[in-house]
Amino acid sequence: MSLALDAPAPVGFAEKIWRINWGLVLVLSAIAGVGVLALYSAAGGRFEPWAARHAVRYGAALGLMLVVALIHPKVWLALAWPIYIVSMLLLVAVDVVGKIGMGAQRWLVIGPMQVQPSEIAKVAVILVLARYYHGLRKEEASKFLYTLPPLAIILAPVALVMVQPDLGTALMVLMGGAALLFVAGVRLWMFLAAAVGAVACLPIGWSLMHEYQRKRVLTFLDPDRDPLGAGYHITQSKIAIGSGGLFGKGFLKGTQSSLNFLPEKQTDFIFTTFVEEWGMAGAMVLLALFALVLVWGFSISLRCQHHFGRLVALGVTAMMFLYVFINTAMVMGLLPVVGVPLPLVSNGGTAMVSVMFACGLLIGVNVYRDAQLPRTR
């Protein structure tokens, strides 16, 4: 029988719409709605300056996500390297002419927009790694020499992001890339060797860290060593979370946030702002919504018939997990403060667009789960 007869029939537009995971879209919208509530409260019961902008951004990003979801994966297979190269050029541009804010040089000002290229790099790395391993045979993926190009793909943006400096995003790119390598079939001994090498390089890494980064690590190890300086953020965050109790203080009744004891309450510490008012019960509901996103991500990857789509779905799922895990663990004092936003809840345009673009890729994997893609590198 010919390949043409074995190939699946093209998916019509109506079926594409039907295959969009509308349950996932609804959950993402619910998470963004939590963000609007939290940002409205963080501004003292006002839509400006964060909540209204957050809602408008989500509406635009939702449209982008649906468009991305309807584009055939062969297009993203072809665009993987161009997107990666553009993201690298933008990272270089940040290091040269980027805007400095809060002691770091992480943004590019393009007309009226302020763009954070490191957020784009997270998705670019997923796409190009998925393309690379899609072109390898299973036995090739497990060989050491074939692991060297992916390591370069991951470490190049990590190095450029560290220069900014942005330790949180660099760690996300590194761990997200490592997760994708693992599911692609890289042998476990390579990860163990990398871990040993990383431990051996800790003294060098410590010497290269900025002073404020060292203080954050020392504060994580001993939160009471500088309660009014480096430890102020996490101390206030713990107070706010603890004071929320089981059911919270009530909407618009959070004291740590409204009295401005909580720094960066609209970005890195938005989870703290929410938990103070909605308590442990509210936190569990929000985390359950994120858990649904992760479960759907794994389900979509398992149903996909092509390797590129499986790796993209798993890469996006890993990225979402790292966002949520690092942010929530950070504000509870389980990890050092590294500046990672909570997706679709924290204020931030580039982060929202990159997350929704990634979710569009994830939904698109489900829409075109039966597609046949060429084996290219």
Q: What is the pLDDT of residues 115-133, one digit of tens each?
A: 888 899 999 999 999 999 9
* Separation between Cα atoms, residue 275 and residue 283, nearest integer Å: 6
Which whole number is the average pLDDT over 79-89? 95
> 375: how many CB neighbours lie within 10 A of its CB?
11
Percent above pLDDT 70 for the chain: 86
pLDDT confidence of residue 342 = 93
Question: Per the structure block, which two tokens stand in for 265?
Answer: 């309450």
Confidence of residue 144 (pLDDT cuts 50, 70, 90): confident
pLDDT in tens, 195-249: 887 777 777 766 666 676 676 677 666 666 666 665 677 888 888 888 888 988 8
pLDDT of residue 72: 93
pTM assigned to the model: 0.89
pLDDT tens digits along 274-292: 999 999 999 999 999 999 9
CA 232 – CA 168 distance, rounded (Å): 19
| Confidence band, pLDDT 50/70/90 cuts, at residue 337 | confident
Which tens digit of pLDDT belongs to each residue from 9-23?
666 777 888 889 999
Give the span between the Cα atoms of 110 and 351, in whole angstroms.
16
pLDDT-derived band at 1 (thresholds 50, 70, 90) equals: very low
Does residue 144 contact residue 93 with C-beta atoms inside 8 Å?
no
Taking the C-alpha atoms of residue 227 and residue 232, their distance in angstroms, rounded to an integer, is: 5
The region of weakest confidence among 55-59, 104-108, 131-135, 164-168 is 104-108
What is the end-to-end Cα distance of the chain in Å, rounded? 28
How far out from the chain centre does Cα 183 lie? 18
pLDDT of residue 95: 78
Cross-strand partners of 101: 104
The whole-angstrom separation of Cα 68 and Cα 257 is: 37
Q: Alpha helix locations (H) across 112-254?
A: 117-134, 138-141, 148-163, 167-184, 188-200, 202-208, 211-221, 232-244
pLDDT given at position 132: 94
